[in-house]
Chain A
């Protein structure tokens, strides 16, 4: 019964986010088409979409949404997070990070309208690309002053799964800081494979940035860095809210 009430409460907010994401994209598309899909404008539009979605999550959590924010490094950085929910891609916008692109597998680029937006905004597609090619693209984004976000698990997972090495390889090869974020509660609100959300407490925690120089030159430095960051994320997940 309690679970049913939690679902009834959260439903209008979460359903509203899907309507918002679809309709805002459809209405904005002609403008971007006419103006030639300006990457910066697209990134700011995605930021705006994300902020509205985060507001809906705030209501869906009945204002039990907490955020621990720290200063970002002054240079463009790699941002990573655990990945329990489909809304995670909008996490970084809640921290006010506008100048951002994500690295993703091919399928989001195939979503009508949204896929075109992220492609033109400069998001990086890993399909059919080697790490060397991806790192070159990341360097280009860094030159533009953009942060680069990646979910090292690669797919949604309630328990923290195997971390792909790409984020850590990029951090070491480009000598850029890596900033881990921890998402708590979104997996309870909308678990992988579920359609109907439920009320849950949400907490977003920004951890201290990790200096890649500690791992550079070590044998299998990227693996060690991945293990270190994963442990830090797990420790934060296990900490009581």
Chain B
């Protein structure tokens, strides 16, 4: 996985999710919960991983723990951690 700064990670994640799920940029707050704030459901969560893998050109799902990644900030942290461990 290619190294990125946190700002680049946030931009890549937000751009991918806004495009795929037709979200508004103002909804993309770090504390936004995928289910209660962004209105996603379990099928969307599956799509999210597929879309992010395409955006980052990397496998995310081997260690992806659905129950632990609830907010955008959790997701940024998870991807940053993956990059640091790569």
Contact surface of A with B, Cβ cutoff 8 Å: 105-106, 126-132, 134, 154, 162, 164-166, 169, 219-220, 222-223
**Main SS of chain A's interface residues?**
loop
A-facing residues in B23-51 (Cβ within 8 Å): 41-44, 46-47, 49-51
Neighbouring B residues of A154 by C-beta, 8 Å: 41, 43-44
Select one of B43, B61, B62, B64 contacting A126, CB under 8 A.
Answer: B43
Select one of A106, A131, A162 contacting B49, CB under 8 A.
Answer: A131
Interface centre among B46, B54, B66, by most A CB within 10 Å?
A: B46
Neighbouring A residues of B43 by C-beta, 8 Å: 105, 126, 154, 164, 166
Neighbouring B residues of A162 by C-beta, 8 Å: 22
Select one of A126, A132, A219, A222 contacting B42, CB under 8 A.
Answer: A126
Contacting pair B50 A129 (CB below 8 A)? no
Contacting pair A106 B42 (CB below 8 A)? yes
State whether A166 and B66 are in contact (beta carbons under 8 Å apart), knowing that A130-B61, A220-B54 are contacts in the complex: no
Contacting pair B46 A131 (CB below 8 A)? yes
Contacting pair B67 A132 (CB below 8 A)? no
Number of interface residues of B (CB under 8 A): 16
Contact surface of B with A, Cβ cutoff 8 Å: 22, 41-44, 46-47, 49-51, 54, 61-62, 64, 66-67
Select one of B46, B62, B64 contacting A164, CB under 8 A.
Answer: B46
CA of A206 to CA of B41, assembled, Å: 28
State whether A127 and B42 are in contact (beta carbons under 8 Å apart), knowing that A162-B22, A222-B50 are contacts in the complex: yes
Neighbouring B residues of A132 by C-beta, 8 Å: 61-62
Contacting pair B50 A105 (CB below 8 A)? no
Nearest 7 A/B pairs, CB to CB: A126-B42, A127-B42, A154-B43, A164-B43, A131-B46, A132-B61, A165-B47
Instruction: Report B42 CB to chain A, min CB distance, Å.
Output: 4
CA of A128 to CA of B43, assembled, Å: 10
CA of A219 to CA of B51, assembled, Å: 12
Q: Can you report 9 residue pairs joining A to B where beta carbons are below 8 Å apart?
A: A105-B42, A126-B43, A128-B66, A130-B61, A132-B61, A134-B46, A166-B46, A166-B47, A169-B46
CA of A208 to CA of B55, assembled, Å: 31
Instruction: Report B51 CB to chain A, min CB distance, Å.
Output: 8
Contacting pair B66 A169 (CB below 8 A)? no
State whether A128 and B67 are in contact (beta carbons under 8 Å apart), knowing that A105-B42, A165-B47, A169-B50 are contacts in the complex: yes
Neighbouring B residues of A131 by C-beta, 8 Å: 46, 49-50, 61
Neighbouring A residues of B62 by C-beta, 8 Å: 132
Neighbouring A residues of B47 by C-beta, 8 Å: 164-166
**B54 to A, closest residue via Cβ:** A220
Neighbouring A residues of B41 by C-beta, 8 Å: 105, 154
**B59 to A, closest residue via Cβ:** A132
CA of A145 to CA of B2, assembled, Å: 41
Instruction: Report A201 CB to chain B, min CB distance, Å.
Output: 30
CA of A164 to CA of B44, assembled, Å: 7
CA of A162 to CA of B20, assembled, Å: 9
